[in-house]
Amino acid sequence: MINTKKTFLLAVVSVKAAVILLVTCATVDFDTSVEANSRFIKHTTSLIDKQIELKVDSVLALMTIDEKIGQLVQYSGKWNATGPSTSERDQYKYNKLKKGEVGSMLNVASVASIRETQRIVMENSRLKIPLIFAYDVIHGYKTIFPIPLGESASWDLDIIKKSAAISAKEASASGLNWTFAPMIDVSRDARWGRIMEGSGEDTYLTTQIGVARIKGFQGDDLSATHTIAACAKHFAGYGFGEAGRDYNTVNIGEYELHNSILPPFKAAAEAGVATFMNAFNDIDGIPATGHRHLQRDLLKNEWNWPGLMVSDWGSIGEMIAHGYAKDLKHASEIAINAGSDMDMESYAYEASLKTLIEDGKVSIDVINDAVRRVLRIKFQLGLFDDPYKYCDTEREKTEIYSKENLEIARDVAKKSIVLLKNDNQVLPLSKDIKSIAVIGPLADDKNAPLGNWRAEGDYNSAVSLLEGVKHAVSKSTTIHYEKGIELTVPTVKPGENQFLIPLEFNTTDRSGIKKAVEAAKKAEVVLLAIGEDAYQTGEGRSQVDIGFKGLQLELLEAIQKVNKNIIIVLMNGRPMDLTRASEVAPTILECWHLGSESGNAIADVVFGDYNPSGKLPVSFPHHVGQEPLYYNQKNTGRPHGSKQVTYSAYRDAPRFALYPFGHGLSYTTFKYDNLTLDKTEIKTTDSINVSVSITNAGDTDGEEVVQLYIRDLIGSLVRPIKELKGFKKLMIKAGETKTVTFKINAETLQFYTANKKWEVEPGAFEVWVGGSSVAELKQSFSVVE
Nearest to 702 by CA among 674, 669, 671: 669
Write the single-letter amino acid at 295.
Q
Catalytic residue among 136, 189, 312, 533: 312
- What is the SS3 assignment for 303-343? CCCCCEEECCCCCCCHHHHHCCCCCHHHHHHHHHHHCCCEE
Residue 208 CA to residue 161 CA, distance in Å, equals 11
Phi, psi angles (nearest 5°) of residue 92: -60, -45
Residue 132 CA to residue 377 CA, distance in Å, equals 9
Sheet holding 275-278, edge to edge: 231-235, 275-278, 308-310
Write the single-letter amino acid at 781.
F
312 included as an active-site residue: yes
CA distance readout (Å), 402 to 224, 395, 449: 20, 11, 19
Nearest to 222 by CA among 339, 48, 396: 48
Residue 539 CA to residue 597 CA, distance in Å, equals 24
Nearest to 536 by CA among 523, 549, 527: 549
Residue 351 CA to residue 70 CA, distance in Å, equals 10
Write the single-letter amino acid at 704.
E
Q: How far is CA 680 from the centre of its chain?
A: 38
Q: Exposed/middle/buried for 640, CB within 10 Å: 0-12, 13-18, 19+?
A: exposed
- β-pairing, 178-179 vs 282-283, is unpaired
Query: Which run of H or E residues covers position 516?
Result: helix 513-522
Residue 151 CA to residue 574 CA, distance in Å, equals 12
Encode 324-353: b = buried (16+ Cβ within 10 Å), e = exposed.
bbeebbbbbbbbbbbbbbbbbbbbbbbebb
Query: Which run of H or E residues covers position 135?
Result: strand 132-135
- β-pairing, 418-422 vs 587-590, is antiparallel
Nearest to 316 by CA among 280, 276, 361: 280
3 state DSSP class of 58: helix
Nearest to 232 by CA among 250, 213, 251: 213
Looking at the DSSP bridge assignments, the partners of residue 681 are 782
Rounding to the nearest 10 degrees, give the CA dihedral for residues 266, 271, 273, 278: -10
- DSSP secondary structure, 445-502, as one string: -SSGGG-S--TTPPTT-SPPHHHHHHHHS-TT-EEEEE--S-SEE--S-TT--GGG--
Active site (catalytic) residues: 312
